[in-house]
Amino acid sequence: MENNVVSKSDLTRQMIVEKSATLFNLQGFSGTSMKDIMDATGLSKGGLYGNFKTKEDIALAAYDQAVEMVWEEVKKRTKVIDHSLDKLKAVVYFYKERILDPPVEGGCPIQNTTIEADDGNPVLRKKVQQTVDNWRANIVANLEKGMKRGEVRLDVNAADFAIQFIGILEGGIMLSRLYKELHCFDVIARQLIKLIDDLKA
């Protein structure tokens, strides 16, 4: 009996997070009210606060959900690829295919939340920093593995390349969203693929 209550509570919490992920990604933290979340979930204010203490707590969980939705799609592409550089290319091709049809409505949650939280919400900004730190670490680990396997040049600065890769990719996403067309990202993608090819041992 008690397990069923916990299970129902977990399901309610997950439903709040999933509905809120799209809201916050589309409207931002400031632009999303508790009433918006109530309308999207069909819950009362008490129902929301029974699962989360504050709107910020909902936003943090919703951000995690949005990022996870993107990562899961990316991992489907990369986990079936063995070569370290081909894994990086797969990330570029994923974004090229999904740039105008992103996994989460509203576009890249990292970019959206960065802009939203730049000065106004240090807690959200810290959360995005952690996401990007993890992304950078994954790229570095992938390249270091490639070096050990003879796929990547030993003189490559993996940490610097990770920053370059993320910065160029996110810039391409921003320009494509601004102009609502693929040309900008196509230009960026070609440049990224060239940079990746230049890492070959």
Does 73 fall in a domain?
A: yes
Q: For residue 131, what is the domain's CATH number?
A: 1.10.357.10
pLDDT digit string (tens) for 18-33?
999 989 888 888 888 8
Q: Enter the tokens of residue 110.
A: 């990292």
Residue for token pair 């991992």:
75
pLDDT digit string (tens) for 80-94?
999 999 999 999 999
Selection from 75, 71, 74, 61 nearest residue 18 by Cα: 61
What is the pLDDT at residue 1?
A: 41
Does 29 fall in a domain?
A: no
Does 64 fall in a domain?
A: yes
d(CA 81, CA 14): 31
Q: What is the dihedral of CA 191, 175, 133, 74, to 10 degrees?
A: -70
Does 121 fall in a domain?
A: yes
Neighbouring C-beta atoms of residue 9, cutoff 10 Å: 12
Residue span of the structural domain in which 172 resides? 57-197
pLDDT digit string (tens) for 154-185?
999 999 999 999 999 999 999 988 898 889 99
Does 17 fall in a domain?
A: no
